[in-house]
Every structure is written in C-alpha cells, then in structure tokens.
Amino acid sequence: MLYKDIDSKEQEIHQLKTLILRSQNPKQKNLIKTDLARVVNGYEAEKDNAYYIGFRFKES
C-alpha cells in the first residue's frame, strides 16, 4: 500500500484569514468565513484520518 503524507493547508488558512481582515464587504466576509471553516474542518479531518491510516497501515 502506498502511503502519502497530507498536504499542509496552513498557507491557505492564513490567506483566508488575511482576506477576512482586509475585506470591507460584509457579504464577502461571510463567504470567506464559510470557506475558511470548510478548509479548517477538512484539514482537521484529513489529519485525523492520516493519523489512523498511518497507525494501522504504515508498517505493512
């Protein structure tokens, strides 16, 4: 089985946080916050899954 480390989303998260601070439009801020929440939640889930997959299958 091939095992691949997850790609970091830290740069994307930082960029979205910066956009929230710079945005003047409330609707745009809400859209960016929604995107940020999706990226953060997906990244956390991906890290959790990678941990369990790595723990179970990495040595096989």
Residue 31 lies in a domain: yes
What is this structure's pTM?
0.78
Mean pLDDT of the chain: 89
**Count of domains observed in the chain:** 1
Its domain, for residue 26, covers 10-57
For 32, 41, 60, the CA distances from 35, given in Å and listed in that order, are 5, 10, 37
Q: How far apart are CA 58 and CA 37, in angstroms?
A: 30
Residue 3, in any domain of the structure = no
Predicted local confidence at residue 24, as pLDDT: 97
pLDDT of residue 56: 74
5 lies in some domain: no
